[in-house]
Every structure is written in C-alpha cells, then in structure tokens.
Structure 1
Amino acid sequence: MAILVCALVLISGVSALNVDKSAGYSVTPTGNLYLPAVMSPMTVGTITTGQTNWYSLVIPAGKSSLTMDLNWGYIPDSLSLTAIAPDGTLGPYYDAADGVTNGRIFLTISRAGGIAPGTWNFKVYGVSVLGTQSYNFVTY
C-alpha cells in the first residue's frame, strides 16, 4: 500500500512538470487563470464512459501559444483531452497533467516560432464516468 501511495505521489509530481516535446511543442501546466480578450466560446457538454466528443478551432498564423481548459470538477470521474494540431498529436492528457487532481485539465501549448496555423481538433474522451458527466471546454 505504501508503495502505491508513493507511486501516485511521484506520478502526479512528474505530471506537474510535464513538457511534451512532440513536433517541437511544449505543453505545460497553466498556473493561473488568465482570460484574454479573445477566446473561443465556452462549450458545455456531457459525456459517458467510452464516449468521444470532438471540437475544432482555426488558429491563425503568428499565434505563439494556445491554452486549453477542460473542467468537469468531479474528481471520481476521469476524462482525457487530446489536441490534434495540423503537424502532430499532443496527448492524451489526464486530470493530474496540470499538477493538480481536481477534475480539470488546464494546459498551455507553445512552440518557439509559433504554433501551427490551421485547424486544430480536440478530443474529449470519457475514460471512466459514473453515469453522465457535464463539463466546460474552452481554448484561447
């Protein structure tokens, strides 16, 4: 039991420092709530175990970063978030990827020279959900 607890602590600690270098991107926890003047409309959805919901966003040339915020707030349920850029796939990311287990995945994607312009797709997946779980999803 003690080994399991230590493993979980180490996993969440490593996740808080997660930097995904796929296609040169860095994916890091978003430590504070920053609401820019321009953001995509917040999507409100529901999901069940095994269900996938898709969202997309067109990114203009010259954008240096993108923040994704999936918030369901109910810790016993598990959702994942994957970002599919025009030049690669980032994720899937789970609750502790942002350093906190709180029913939220709050991450910023960046890359030296800017992120790829074009259509980005986002996959919200119900890993383990009791019944139906509602959530909010926003990118900016």
Structure 2
Amino acid sequence: MIKKIGLLLMVMLISVSFAAATTSQDNGYTIAPVKSDDTITPRWIADTITQGETNWHDKPVSSYTTSLHVDLNWGDTSDSLRLKVYTPSNQLIGTFYDSADGAIDGRINIEITNSNGIELGTWHAEVYGYSVTGTEDYYI
C-alpha cells in the first residue's frame, strides 16, 4: 500500500486558456498555475524517485493544440522535487519547484500555452529528486 499520495505527473492536452496569473516565457509559451484538482484518473502510472535521481517522462503531441497541462503531485511537503519541461526541439520551457503553482503542497500543477500552437512531437518532463528522504512514490 502506498502511504503517500505520490508524485503525479500527468501531461495531457487541453485546448483551453486559463485566466489565472501568468508568467511569459520565450518563443511564445506562457506558464499559468492551475487551481488544485484532487481528482485521480487511471491515466497516471506509478514510479519512484530518490535524492539526486532524475526520471524522464515523455508525452507525444501529434495534433494541433494550444495548451499542455503538466501536473506533478507527490503530496509530501517534507520532500522537494524539481520539474523541467522541454519542447520536442529541446527548448527548456521552465524550471519549476513546489511553489510554482502558488502553493507549497507537494504539487506542481501548471498549464503551458502558446496561441500559435504547441510544438508537435515528443515533449519531455525531467523530474529531479531535489531534496528527498528515502524513496518518494509518484505517478505519471
């Protein structure tokens, strides 16, 4: 039985824009925090991470969309994870920590938008065990 909620990294396509406060990034991409959603869906796959370990997760984007949702939720505020998101052309979109979505709650929940469209191809998410005691459960 998993005692911790784990780290949820859900990358899914959404074609809507959010009116939340945003932070502009290079090449037309904008990052916006997403309000917390406690819904767990069966799309997430379990994994684990330890101190100093890096895990990579990919999401193919094969059709036009203007938004990409990234939800990383480990649910344990005593551990700290870092998330980096890269485009298919290996452009770093941003480096995110627990407070990136406006709350320190063991979760990074962001929306990446581009009015010109999200780059087609395989997006990459790098999850790093920034400050982890033992092994942290997570889902992708």
TM-score range, shorter chain: 0.7 to 0.9
Residue identity over aligned pairs, in percent, reads 39
Q: Aligned match of 1:28 in 32, 35, 44?
A: 32
CA distance in 2, matches of 1:92, 1:74: 19
Shift of 1:40: 9.0
Structure 1 unaligned blocks of 5 or more: 1-15
User: What whole-Å deviation, never above 9, does each CA across 1:48-91 have from its counterpart, x for those lacking one?
Assistant: 11100011111023111010111101101000111110242122
Structure 1 residue corresponding to 2:105, chosen from 90, 102, 107 = 102
Report the structure number with the largest CA radius of gyration: 1
User: Which runs of structure 1 show a deviation greater than 6 angstroms over 4 or more consecutive aligned residues?
Assistant: none
Q: Deviations over 1:20-56 (max 9, x none)?
A: 4122100110125397xxx993121110111000111
Query: Structure 2 length normalisation: TM-score?
Result: 0.77
The answer to whether the Cα contact below 8 Å between 1:61 and 1:116 also exists between their aligned partners in 2 is no
Q: Which runs of 5+ in 2 are unaligned?
A: 1-19
Distance, in Å, in 1 between the alignment partners of 2:42 and 2:65 is 14
> Which deviates further from its counterpart, 119-128 or 85-94?
85-94
Question: CA offset at residue 114 of structure 1?
Answer: 1.1
Q: 1:40 to 1:57 in 2, by over 3 A?
A: farther
Partner of 1:57: 59
**Compared CA separation, residues 122 and 94, structure 1 to 2 (3 A):** same
Instruction: Kindly report which structure 2 residues correspond to 1:20-99, keeping only aligned pairs within 5 A, or say none.
Output: 20-33=24-37, 41-87=43-89, 88-99=91-102
Alignment RMSD (CA, Å): 2.2
Given the alignment of the two structures, is residue 125 of structure 1 paired with residue 128 of structure 2, yes or no?
Answer: yes
Counterpart code for 2:72: L
TM-score by length of 1: 0.77
